[in-house]
């Protein structure tokens, strides 16, 4: 699930981005419709969703809310006349509203067929190809009046494929006096790309946060890199533009640079989605995204889940670039 509608994300679980709202390629969009016999039993689908939430979601008690809500709706026959697409859309909204986690997603895989799913290497090639058509999320890189660097960044692709593009962008702005990073249309992406981007603003390797996975009872430390391909951007003013659409990994970039006093955030308060996700195919017909990890900053042991990123200077999103440029 890309950050925008055509961006495709990596397939491996440990590479998962914070936000995966529209994962299509590698799981869906293969040519054959599901043609073999498939028991269309909504009760089974609801049961499987509840089981996945119970086993994988970061809050071990949250599944009880889901189960109670589902059972109530079954008794009221809420789902009876819904087609598969509308059924999935309703469940997605229910998961988000019942559990209060924006990273939950559930969608009908209209063109999915297990026989057509390719191996990991082929998926990666396919993801990279589609991401390359979007320039790996880098919409534009400019030098504005006053020798101000500007990067309009719309999504975090895998660093394996996009590291060179990031390096080129950072090299382009290396000699500017200040930098504006525009995340107003960025809805997240790959966690490793987040860490790589952050690495350009820290002079040495820095531990930023931990991620705890309840289903594995495992905690991972997430750190910047000491070395990068391009020119680091150190000891200069950095401004990050946000909007109500800035989501997930994009929020993380703003959060950690703001927290380490490396950047000033200008724009609108963000939605607040911090939990990394995993995906599950349900009954060979639906795709379920479940937040499986909890991020904790190593500065204060907190994150931006539910609360969002509060700008240092709050202005309407459409006015954020002008506000930043005037400030500089």
Tell me if 56 sits within 8 A of 216, measured CB to CB: no
pLDDT digits (tens, 9 = 90+) for 243-302: 999 999 999 999 999 999 999 999 999 999 999 999 999 999 999 999 999 999 999 999
CA–CA distance, 74 with 88 (Å, rounded to integer): 15
The residue segments making up the domain with residue 179 are 136-276+292-327
CA–CA distance, 178 with 194 (Å, rounded to integer): 20
Please say if the pLDDT value at position 85 is more than 50. Answer: yes
pLDDT digits (tens, 9 = 90+) for 23-79: 444 444 433 333 333 345 899 999 999 999 999 999 999 999 999 999 999 999 999
* 279: region left, alpha or beta (phi > 0 left; psi from -120 to 50 alpha): beta
Angle formed at CA 261 by CA 260 and CA 266, multiple of 5 degrees: 120
pLDDT of residue 36: 33
Tell me if 74 sits within 8 A of 87, measured CB to CB: no
Q: Quick check: is 299 in a domain?
A: yes
Q: Quick check: is 193 in a domain?
A: yes
> What is the value of pTM for the model shown?
0.86
Which percentage of the chain shows pLDDT scores above 70? Answer: 86
Q: Quick check: is 307 in a domain?
A: yes
pLDDT digits (tens, 9 = 90+) for 178-220: 999 999 999 999 999 999 999 999 999 999 999 999 999 999 9
The total of other beta-carbon atoms located within 10 Å of residue 20's CB is 26
In Å, how far are 4, 178, 252 from 320, measured between CA atoms?
A: 20, 16, 19
pLDDT of residue 29: 41
Which percentage of the chain shows pLDDT scores above 90? Answer: 81
Q: Quick check: is 13 in a domain?
A: no
pLDDT digits (tens, 9 = 90+) for 252-261: 999 999 999 9
CATH code for the domain in which residue 312 is found: 3.90.226.10
The total of structural domains in the chain comes to 1
pLDDT of residue 44: 97
pLDDT of residue 116: 63
Q: Quick check: is 83 in a domain?
A: no
Q: Quick check: is 69 in a domain?
A: no
Q: Average pLDDT for residues 306-320, to the nearest whole number?
A: 98
- Sheet with 286-291: strands ordered across: 105-108, 286-291, 277-282
pLDDT of residue 41: 87
DSSP H or E run through 163: helix 159-172
Q: Quick check: is 239 in a domain?
A: yes
pLDDT of residue 117: 61
SS3 322: helix
Q: Quick check: is 304 in a domain?
A: yes
pLDDT of residue 108: 96
Q: Quickly state the pLDDT bin for 115 (edges 50, 70, 90).
A: low
């Amino acid at each position: 699930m890309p950050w925008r509608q055509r961006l495709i994300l990596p397939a491996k679980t440990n590479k998962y981005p914070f936000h995966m709202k529209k994962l299509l390629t590698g799981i869906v969009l293969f040519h054959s419709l599901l043609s073999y016999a498939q028991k269309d039993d909504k009760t089974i689908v609801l049961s499987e969703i509840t089981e996945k939430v119970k086993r994988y979601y970061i809050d071990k008690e949250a599944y009880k809310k889901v189960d109670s809500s589902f059972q109530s709706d079954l008794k009221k026959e809420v789902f009876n006349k819904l087609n598969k697409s509308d059924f999935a859309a309703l469940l997605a909204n229910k998961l988000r509203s019942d559990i209060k986690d924006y990273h939950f997603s559930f969608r009908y895989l209209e063109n999915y067929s297990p026989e057509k799913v390719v191996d990991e290497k082929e998926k990666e090639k396919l993801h990279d190809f589609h991401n390359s058509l979007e320039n790996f999320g880098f919409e534009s890189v400019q030098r504005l009046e006053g020798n101000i660097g500007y990067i309009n960044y719309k999504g975090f692709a895998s660093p394996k494929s996009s590291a060179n593009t990031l390096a080129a962008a950072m090299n382009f702005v290396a000699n500017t006096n200040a930098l504006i990073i525009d995340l107003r249309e960025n809805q997240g992406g790959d966690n490793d790309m987040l860490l790589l981007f952050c690495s350009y603003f820290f002079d040495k390797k820095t531990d930023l946060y931990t991620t705890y996975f309840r289903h594995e009872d495992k905690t991972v430390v997430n750190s910047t890199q000491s070395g990068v391909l391009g020119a680091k951007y150190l000891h200069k003013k950095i401004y990050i533009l946000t909007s109500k659409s800035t989501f997930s990994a994009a929020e993380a970039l703003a959060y950690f640079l703001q927290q380490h006093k490396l950047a000033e955030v200008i724009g609108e308060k963000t939605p607040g989605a911090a939990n990394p996700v995993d995906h599950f195919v349900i009954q060979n017909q639906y795709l379920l995204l479940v937040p499986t990890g909890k991020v904790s900053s190593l500065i204060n042991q907190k994150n931006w889940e539910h609360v969002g990123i509060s700008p240092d200077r709050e202005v309407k999103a459409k006015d954020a670039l002008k506000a930043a440029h005037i400030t500089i």
